[in-house]
Every structure is written in C-alpha cells, then in structure tokens.
Amino acid sequence: MRHLRFDNTFVRELPGDPEESSRQRQVLGALYSRVQPTPVAAPRVIAWSREMARTLGLEEADIASPVFAQVFGGNVLLDGMQPYAANYGGHQFGVWADQLGDGRAISLGEAIDGAGRRWELQLKGAGRTPYSRGADGRAVLRSSVREFLCSEAMHHLGVATTRALCLVATGDTVVRDMFYDGHPQDEPGAIVCRVAPSFIRFGNFELPAARGDIGLLRQLADYTIARDFPELRGEGEALYAAWFAQVCERTAWMVAHWMRVGFVHGVMNTDNMSILGLTIDYGPYGWIDNFDPDWTPNTTDAGRRRYRFGQQPNVAWWNLSRLAMALAPLFSGTGPLQAGLDHYAATYAEADRCNVAAKLGLAECRDGDTVLARDLYALLAEAEVDMTLFFRALADVDRRHPSLEPLREAFYDDARYASSAPAFTAWLSRYAARLADDPLSDDERRARMNAANPRYVLRNYLAQQAIDRAMQGDDEGIAELLEVMRRPYDDQPGNERYAQKRPAWAVHKAGCSMLSCSS
Ligand code: AMP
Ligand code: MG
C-alpha cells in the first residue's frame, strides 16, 4: 500500500469543528468534525473491486495483506490519513431535517492516483460520529453487500456513481429491526470502503444556508468549484451560475441513465444527492423487473411512493430547486438559478431522446419516436413485462417480419401475454415501419441497442441470494455476481441464469422486493 498518497484538501482548506470526540452535538460554523473510526473485533476482506484497486495502485498482495483488512475495517490508519465526518443537512421525504451529517461514514482522506486524480476513501459503518443522532454508526452485512455490488455494477453499466474498493466483515454483530416492526435481531456487521472524487451532497450547502451562515456557504461553494469543477471559467456570480447549471446538467444525465437501465434509488433525499451528479448512498434501492413506473422498493416510502421509478426525473428537479434555494444568497437575483433549473429540464429532455434512440436502435430520435416509446412504455406497464429482457430481445425482432415470439419470454403472465398480444403486434408494425425509414443496418442497430440495453442487471433477488450465501459464511456468491456485472452488455455463455425473470418466490420476499431504510 506504499502507493497510497494523500492530499487532504477538505480538512486542510475548510473550517472544522474544534471538538474531536463522537459526542452528539450541533456543529455550527464548521463543515466537518474530526473523528476516529471505532475498532472492530476481527476485520476480514470478503470482496473487493479489481478495477478500483488497480486505479488506486493496489495489487492483489496488498489486498491479501493483514494490514489491508485492519485499515479498511477501521482499526489502523495509514500515514497521511486524516479521518473526519462531514456536516450536512437535507430535505428528507420533502421535509427539511436540519443537521444530519455523516452518522456512520468516516472519510479517511483524499488519495491521489497515478494519473493525478483525486479519490476520497470513505468507510461506511465505521462507528459513531457527532452526527450519529443516537444510532450506532454501524452497517449490517446485507446492506453493505448491496452497496458494494450495486455501486460497481452501476459503474460498469456506464452510470455516474460513487465506487467501492472493498467490503470488510467486522466480526462484530449489529442489532437491527429490519422492518421497524418490533423484531430486532443480531446481524453480522460489515464496512464498505466507498470511493469518489468527492462525497459532497446538496445537503452540505443547504445546512449553512439554512443557518444563515453565508460565509461558510460561500467558502464551500468556492472550494467545490475550484477542486471539482476546474473546467469552469468566469468569476463571481457568473461562475456560480455556470457551476449550478453544470450540477443540473450532470444530475439530468445521471437520472436519465437510471431510467435507461431500470434503477430505482429509493431514497432521493437531498442529503443523498451528490454535487458531482454521482449516484450516491445505496440503501433501499431496487431494479425494475416488470416495467412499472409506480414501483418503489422502499417499504418506508410505500404509502406515498414519493421516490417511485417514474417519478425520479421530477424528484431530481425538486431536489435541484432546494439546492437553488440554498445557493440563492450567492446571487443578487434568482434569474441564473431559474436558468439552471430550466437547463435541467432541457438536458433531461435531450437525454431522454438519447435513451429512446439507443433503446430502440434508431440513428436519431425524431419527434414521433418519443410517442412510439411512450406507447411502448404504457404497454409494458399494462401487460407486466420484464424491462431488461424485453429491450434486450427487441434487438432480435426481424423488421421485415415483426413477431412477438422473440419477446414472449419477457412476459410474467400468460393471460396478459395473450390479451395484450394484438396491441403489441400493432406496436411492432409501427416500429418495423419506423426502422424501414432508418439509415442503420440491422447489425448496426443491434449493436447500438445491445450497448444501451443491458443483458445483466443486479436484480434484487440476485443480490439477496449472494447475501443469503454470505450469511452462511460463503462469500463466493458476491465475487461471482460482481464478475457477471462487470460486463453487463455482453452475452455471457454459461451465465444465462443471471439474466432471467424474477422468480415467483422473490415477489414478496424481504430483500428481494421489499426493503426498508434499516441498514
Ligand atoms: P441514509 O438514509 O442512510 O441516507 O441516512 C440518513 C442519515 O442517517 C445520515 O445522516 C446517516 O449518516 C444517518 N444514519 C443512518 N444509519 C445510521 C446508523 N446506523 N448510525 C448512525 N447514523 C446513521
Ligand atoms: Mg444518506
């Protein structure tokens, strides 16, 4: 691990809390608190990402060395690490929650890789911080496996995301009431080492703004722009405006990619929105099996479904509007912030057209094509059709003799298949007619579609099967699943079992379709 070199700008350049204990408190006038990870009993590496390790200059021998598990279990600090928990607030389920902060995430420092890129290393589940608000600062194995696998899977799908270096079992138990229904249980604890250029969230800006600490707000904005948006030009308000527009643009693309691959974040609170436009905080997320815009995996949100699949683009806009409110004191008028929000809407519309063209295999998205896509989405929702299987198989439809046969496997219900077949057949004729008027050859079209419609996604039940095995002491399921998810767009002979419909038993099983915030 001699390659790991740190340059900790966040704690060096920004004001911190003078107190260095994990005592619960309101932290005013500071953007973070220095805090040490709490040691664990028996840290053991149970999974790691070879791409992330390679990026950081870590070799297999490093991962296997006893000190690696000690460091990423939170028992030992390497030279140059300066651990801290960030102070932020947020709107949770539409309501301002005031100070939240990293209650169980502890950043170790900013590692500089061989190419000069900056990677903040952060342990999730490393013990209490001043922001733990009465909770234990720990994470359970099941949620840590989910975060580890999904952040890497999203990266390989081409979605902007925080990453994961490794997953460490702590050897300690953690008590959780999985569905908040009075059944607390001992569960194995684990820690994920998350990695990102920055973990700064919308909520980091919202908290000083809500407290009227405009000096602190400005300091954080200036720092973020200088460190993470070096390509932006200008100064003063014009620079802030360019920055906000850029955050809006990145967020639009991020959400558009979620919609393309069928990812539902589950808890799009503003403290879970990255200022870099990265998917962040994998909790009760889920993947769409049957295409259902109203679906959410999060049982905590089951009543209102605020964060359901089809709502995500609108929620992102609402979250950006909260960020705009927080940044308003940096501007003399609201015009530039409104322009940023409009830029979000325009960018999302453009990204959505890109999705339509790529998913349907068209050289370009014409006006009528969005109608074609919308009509298809309505059919998919109505007939209970698997999103991933359908779009992948759509590439195999023969445009000269369009037939529903290659798509049959994507239907969950025989009766609905039969009753919707005429409507689908009619849609396929429209699609075939449109393809006849498209310049792409069949091979080009198929290649385009297969690069946008994954064969493999981290279906909820697949992650749960890996978790069930890990709970029995068999960690191999995690590595096997990660291996498949490294090449989601490739057909992988022998791995067909990872590319199937959700089995019936998974419909109502905890962890497969129902998840809570308890993690
Ligand atoms: P999340 O829903 O995971 O985004 O968490 C929302 C807030 O609760 C954040 O401030 C977390 O740091 C905090 N939090 C969640 N779980 C725990 C825990 N086990 N211990 C301490 N803080 C937690
Ligand atoms: Mg969070």
- Which residue, judged by its Cα, is nearest atom 15 of ligand 1? 103
**DSSP structural state of residue 400:** S
In a domain, 313, yes or no: yes
Ligand nearest 103 Cα, by number? 1
- Do 428 and 286 sit in the same domain of this protein? no
Ligand nearest 104 Cα, by number? 1
Rounded Cα distance, 375 and 364, in Å? 18
Q: What is the pLDDT of residue 509?
A: 85
Contacts of 274 (CB under 8 A, 6+ apart): 162, 196, 198, 199, 200, 201, 280
Cα of 309 to ligand 1 centre, how many Å?
23
Q: What is the pLDDT of residue 73?
A: 98
Query: Could you give the number of structural domains in the chain?
Result: 3
Q: What is the pLDDT of residue 513?
A: 77
Of 431, 452, 473, which residue constitutes the final position of a domain? 452
- Do 242 and 342 sit in the same domain of this protein? yes
Our mutation pick for probing the ligand 1 site, out of 98, 100, 151, counting the most ligand atoms within 8 A of Cβ, is 100
Q: What residues does ligand 1 touch, defined as CB less than 6 Å away?
A: 100-104, 131-132, 135-138, 267, 272, 281, 283, 517
**DSSP line for 408-425:** GGGBS-HHHHHHHHHHHH
Cα of 271 to ligand 2 centre, how many Å?
6
- Do 50 and 184 sit in the same domain of this protein? yes
- Do 158 and 46 sit in the same domain of this protein? yes
Q: Could you identify the atom of ligand 1 that is nearest to the CA of residue 267? A: 2
Please give the residue range of the domain that contains residue 412: 364-452
Find the helix or strand (DSSP H, E) in which 341 lies. Answer: helix 335-360
Burial label, 166 (beta-carbon count in 10 A; 0-12, 13-18, 19+): buried
Cα of 105 to ligand 2 centre, how many Å?
9
- Which residue, judged by its Cα, is nearest atom 14 of ligand 1? 103
Cα of 227 to ligand 1 centre, how many Å?
27
Cα of 201 to ligand 2 centre, how many Å?
9
Phi, psi of 452 (to 5 degrees): -115, -25
Rounded Cα distance, 414 and 120, in Å? 50
In a domain, 444, yes or no: yes
- Which residue, judged by its Cα, is nearest atom 12 of ligand 1? 103
**DSSP structural state of residue 329:** G
Cα of 283 to ligand 2 centre, how many Å?
8
Rounded Cα distance, 428 and 410, in Å? 15
353 three-state secondary structure: helix
Give the residue ranges of DSSP H helices in 412-474: 414-436, 442-450, 460-471
- Do 22 and 149 sit in the same domain of this protein? yes
For residue 60, how many other CB atoms are within 10 A of its CB? 11
Rounded Cα distance, 201 and 220, in Å? 11
Written in H, E and C, the secondary structure of 233-256 is CCCHHHHHHHHHHHHHHHHHHHHH
In a domain, 175, yes or no: yes
Q: What is the pLDDT of residue 420?
A: 98
Our mutation pick for probing the ligand 1 site, out of 23, 133, 274, 298, counting the most ligand atoms within 8 A of Cβ, is 133
Q: What is the pLDDT of residue 480?
A: 98
Q: What is the pLDDT of residue 517?
A: 81
Q: Could you identify the atom of ligand 1 that is nearest to the CA of residue 129? A: 21
Beta bridge partners of 118: 112
Q: Could you identify the atom of ligand 1 that is nearest to the CA of residue 88? A: 10
Provide the residue count of the chain.
Answer: 519
Ligand nearest 143 Cα, by number? 1
The token pair at 189 is 């604890």
Of 401, 432, 452, which residue constitutes the final position of a domain? 452
Q: Is the pTM of this model over 0.95?
A: yes
- Which residue, judged by its Cα, is nearest atom 13 of ligand 1? 103
Of 199, 215, 242, which residue constitutes the final position of a domain? 199
- Do 75 and 117 sit in the same domain of this protein? yes
- Do 383 and 348 sit in the same domain of this protein? no
Contacts of 271 (CB under 8 A, 6+ apart): 88, 89, 90, 91, 92, 97, 100, 201, 202, 203, 281
Rounded Cα distance, 485 and 475, in Å? 16
Q: Which residues are catalytic?
A: 271
99 three-state secondary structure: coil
Q: What is the pLDDT of residue 45?
A: 98
Q: How high is the mean pLDDT in each 10-residue block of the chain (519 residues)?
A: 90 97 97 98 98 97 97 98 98 98 98 97 98 97 98 98 98 92 94 98 98 98 98 96 98 98 98 98 97 95 95 98 98 98 98 98 97 98 98 97 96 97 98 97 98 98 97 97 98 97 91 82
**Helix 335-360 crosses helix 442-450 at what angle (to 10 degrees)?**
130
Q: Would strands 163-176 and 44-48 be described as parallel, antiparallel, or unpaired?
A: antiparallel
In a domain, 338, yes or no: yes
Ligand nearest 92 Cα, by number? 1
